[in-house]
């Protein structure tokens, strides 16, 4: 009986010693797991269907700006606007060259595009309010027939001219790949801001501010 007690006591002592050694090892060896702050930030995830035009980026030294997180180069900001000559709905022709000396807002759109449809009433309101500044608002419908566009314009009561880019030539020249897309052009024919995706009155007002200096533009 005495020998069994001696053996049990020895095993208990050994176990305690092993536990002590293990505890010391854990305390001395540094944690290899990197802190949360050192982890590399994950790349942003693009969400389909979300408008790219959500804020205004800082203006370039030339005074140009872009509405939305895209780089100004995406809208050719600071560059002369490409030529734009299209047939006008209702007759006649729209020629951007004839509008030099006036601030111009160009919108490429299509009637099947929900954001495009939502923007028209807002654009009409701003076009009417700032017409006294010489502002010209132009919508350019891309690759649709006259009847479709005419029915849409009549239903919205648009107060600005609408051009017909029936073969997509103007769309290609302006790199207007996604619809809707907006360009704000100053009196000298220079693109000062651009926006991609369905935008609201706030973003529209920010775009107008870049081509209507000294005008109190509000949404």
Q: What pTM value is reported for the model?
A: 0.70
pLDDT value, residue 219: 94
Q: Which bin fits 68, alpha (ψ -120 to 50), beta or left (φ > 0)?
A: left
Residue 93 contacts residue 175 (beta carbons within 8 Å): no
Q: How far apart are CA 219 and CA 212, in angstroms?
A: 14
User: What's the average model confidence in pLDDT over 72-80?
Assistant: 85
Per-residue pLDDT tens digits for 171-188: 999 999 899 999 999 999
Question: Cβ neighbours of residue 73 under 8 Å, at least 6 residues apart?
Answer: none
pLDDT value, residue 28: 34
| HSE (side-chain half, CA atoms, 13 Å) at 125 | 13
Q: Walk me through the domains of the chain, giving residue ranges and CATH numbers.
A: 72-209 (3.40.30.10)
């Amino acid at each position: 009986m005495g020998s069994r007690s001696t053996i049990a006591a020895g095993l208990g002592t050994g176990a305690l010693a092993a536990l002590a050694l293990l505890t010391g090892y854990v305390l001395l060896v540094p944690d290899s797991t990197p802190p949360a702050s050192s982890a590399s930030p994950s790349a942003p995830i693009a969400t389909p269907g979300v408008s790219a035009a959500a804020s205004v980026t800082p203006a370039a030294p030339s005074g140009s700006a872009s509405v939305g997180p895209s780089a100004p180069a995406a809208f050719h900001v600071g560059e002369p606007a490409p030529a734009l000559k299209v047939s006008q709905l209702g007759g006649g022709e729209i020629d951007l060259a004839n509008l030099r000396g006036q601030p111009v807002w160009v919108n490429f759109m299509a009637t099947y595009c929900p954001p495009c449809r939502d923007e028209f009433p807002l654009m009409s309101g701003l076009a009417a309010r700032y017409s006294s500044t010489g502002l010209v608002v132009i919508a350019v419908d891309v690759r649709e027939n006259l009847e479709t566009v005419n029915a849409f314009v009549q239903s919205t009561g648009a107060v600005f001219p609408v051009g017909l880019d029936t073969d997509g030539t103007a769309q290609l020249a302006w790199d207007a790949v996604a619809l809707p897309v907006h360009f704000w052009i100053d009196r000298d024919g220079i693109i000062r801001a651009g926006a991609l995706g369905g935008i609201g009155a706030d973003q529209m007002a920010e775009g107008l501010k870049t081509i209507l200096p000294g005008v109190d533009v509000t949404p």
